[in-house]
Structure 1
Amino acid sequence: MTTQNIPTSKAPAKAVPDSITPVPTRWVGPLRISGNAATDETHVPLATYESPLWPSVARGARISRLIDGGIRATLVDERMTRSILLEATDAQAAHVAARALDDRLEELRVLTRTTSRFAELLAVRHEIVGPLLYIRCEFATGDASGHNMATLAADALLTHLLAHIPNVSYGSISANYCTDKKATAVNGILGRGKNVTAEILIPRQTVADRLRTTAAKIAHLNVTKNLVGTLLAGGIRSANAHYANMLLAFYLATGQDAANIVEGSQGITYADDRDGDLYFSCTLPNLIVGTVGNGKGLPAVEDALARLGCRAERPIGDNARRLAALAAATVLCGELSLMAAQTNPGELMHAHTRLERLNGAPHGH
C-alpha cells in the first residue's frame, strides 16, 4: 500500500471574519390574542426563506381579528430541565441513592437559589437503569429560556450529591433525560419550557368565506393527516402539519435558540366541527423561549422584543410568558391556514408557485 505525501503550510491560518447571514424578516398581522399571558393585538416577526409562510400566517391573523377575543392562549405550565447522571455499583445502591436524594429536596432547593437570583428548583424525578441513576431536575428560570441557568444549578446539585450520598460516582452533567433538542416522549409528558394551548372558535360563514372550506373538512383532514398519518410515520407525541415552520421563523426573529424547535414542534392540533363552526387548537407543551439571555442583545432582536411588548416592566417571568403565548398564537395562524388549503385540491401548490414567483424565489425543476 502506498501513501501520498500531502504538503502542509506552516503559515498561521488566517482568521475568518465574523459575518451575519441575512434571513428575510417580515412583520405579519396584527393577530388578536387573549388569555392568561397576553391580551391585545400585535404584529409578529417571522424570519424565513420560505416566503409563502408570511401570507399564510397573515391569513390566520386576519381571521383572529374577526373573532371576539381572537386566539385564546392559555399558559398551562413552565419549567426548564437538566438531567444529571450518577453511577452506582448496582441497582440496589442506585435505589438507596435515589431515596437519599428524595430526603434532601429542601436543601437542594436552598442550594439552587445560591446559583442564580431567578432559579427555583420545582421538582426532581429519577429513573434507575441497572447501576445508573438518572436525575431530571426541573427549574423555574424567570424571563430566561434557562438553558445555562439550569445547567449551572444542576452542576451545583451534582457536586453536592456526590459529596453527601455514598456509593455513587460522577456520570454526566447532561444525561439526555432532559431532553434538550431531541424528539422524545418525556418532554411532552413531564414538560420542558412553556406549555401553551392556543385555540379559536370560527363561525361557519367565516370558515367558508375566508378559508374556502368547511369545519367538517378540516376536522376530517386533521384525523386522517395529522393523527393517522403521523401514527403511521411513528411520530413521537406529535400530531401537526407544520409547527416547525412558524416556530423557526419566530425563534430566529426573536433571538431564541433555533435548535429548540426539535422539541418545540412536538405539538398536537385538534379540530372539531361544532354544528358548522370550527373549533381549532394547537397545543405546544415544549415552547422554549426567553426575553433575556444569549442573542437578546442584538439590535434587531431588541427591536423585535420591544415591538412585541416583551420589554415592559412586568413581574419576573411575565415577558417570557407573553412571548410564549404569541409564539403559540402564531403557530395556530399558520397551521389553520395550511390545513384549510389542504382540504382543497391544488390550492397549496398554486399558492406556493404564485407567491414564490412574486417574491423572486426560484421554482420548478
Structure 2
Amino acid sequence: MQTQIGIIGGGPSGLCLARLLSLAGIKSIILERQTREYVEARIRAGILEQGMVDLMRRAKVSERMDREGLVHDGIVLAFNGREERIDMAALTGGKRVMVYGQTELTRDLYDAVLKDENVTVVFEARDVHPVGYLDGKPKLEFVKDGRQQIVTCDYIAGCDGYHGASRAAVPREMITEYERIYPFGWLGLLSDTPPVHEELIYANHRRGFALCSMRSHTRSRYYLQVGLDEKVEDWSDERFWDEIRRRLPEHIAQKMVTGPSIEKSIAPLRSFVTEPMRFGNMFLVGDAAHIVPPTGAKGLNLAASDMYYLATALIAFYDEGRSDLLDRYSETALRRVWAAVRFSWWFTSISHKFNDDPIEHKIQLAELEYLMSSTAGKTTIAENYVGLPFDPTFK
C-alpha cells in the first residue's frame, strides 16, 4: 500500500486532518485499531472553540453541527452559595463556543471520509509500528486479518492518543516528557434529562468540584470530583444525583431533573506535554503529544490547532515545494499547547479541592471573589476559554 500521508488513529484528529488534506488533493491512509462503531461510541468532549468549528466548516462536514450545535455566549462560576456569569461574547469581541458532542462530530467526519476517494480507512489494524521516519523513508507496518502489511508514505501523522504507537516508537533519548498527575479524577454521568441550566456551571465547593454540562436540550453531562481510589460501581445513580446537588447553589439544585444514567465513568486528570512534536518525517498530533485536565475544555481544541498547523504545512509542501512550515510545526504548536496547559492547570487549581486544609478553600474563594469583581479578571477567563487564536504568521 502506498500513499502520501500515513495517519495512525481514526479519531476526530486523524479524520479531520485527512479530510483537510484531501480537499487539497493530498492522499492519505488512516490506520484505526478499533471498529468504526467502537470509535463513535466513545464519550468524549463536547465544547468546541471557534477554531475547531472553523476547521469542520473548512472540511465541509459542518452541516449537522451548524444545525444542531448549541452556541454558548458564557459560562457560570458557582462558589460560596452563589453564581457569577462570565459573558464571553461581550468580553472577547463576540467570540463564543459551541456545544456539540465529540461522538456526533466523529460520526459526521466518518460519513464524509468514507466517501472520500483520497482517503482510505483501515479498521482493526493491529500492532501498528511506524518505521523509517528518521531516515526519510517512513513506513507503517501493521497486521490486518492476521496478515502483515506495510504502508509506504512521505510523512506520518501520529493521531493515536496518549497510549498510541506513534510516540511510543520514538527513541527515548530524542524526546522530553513533562507530566503532572492530579490527586483526583472526574466521575462523569450522561443522562437523557434536560440540562439544569442553559450554560455550563463550574462549581467550587468544600466537598469538591462539580460541573453541569450538556450535549443537547434533552441530554445532560454532569461531573463530580472524586478520589483516585473511587470505583464507578460504588456510585449508584441516586448517590451521584444526591452528591452533585450538595455541591450546587440550592436554587440550582432544586431545578435539577434526574434520571437513569446512560453512561458513567471515572477519568484521572493529568497535564502532559511531549517536546518536540516532530521526529524526522513523523509528526505527533493531539493527545499523542499532550494531555490537559478537562476543566478548561482544551483537549480536542488543542488537537484542532495541531491539525490546522500540520495541514497548512503539508499543503504548502505539496503545492509549493515549501518545507519551512513543516520545520516550524513543533515550535508553533507547542506555544499554543503550553498556553492551554497553563490555563487548564490554573482553572483546575481555583475550582478543585486538593486537600482538607480549610485555608486552601478560603484562598480559592478569595481569588474567585477578586476575579469576579474585576473586568480584567473575567476577561482573562473568557479569552482563554473561547480559545487563543492560531498563529497568524503560519501561512
Which of the two has higher C-alpha Rg? 1
Q: TM over 0.5, yes or no?
A: no
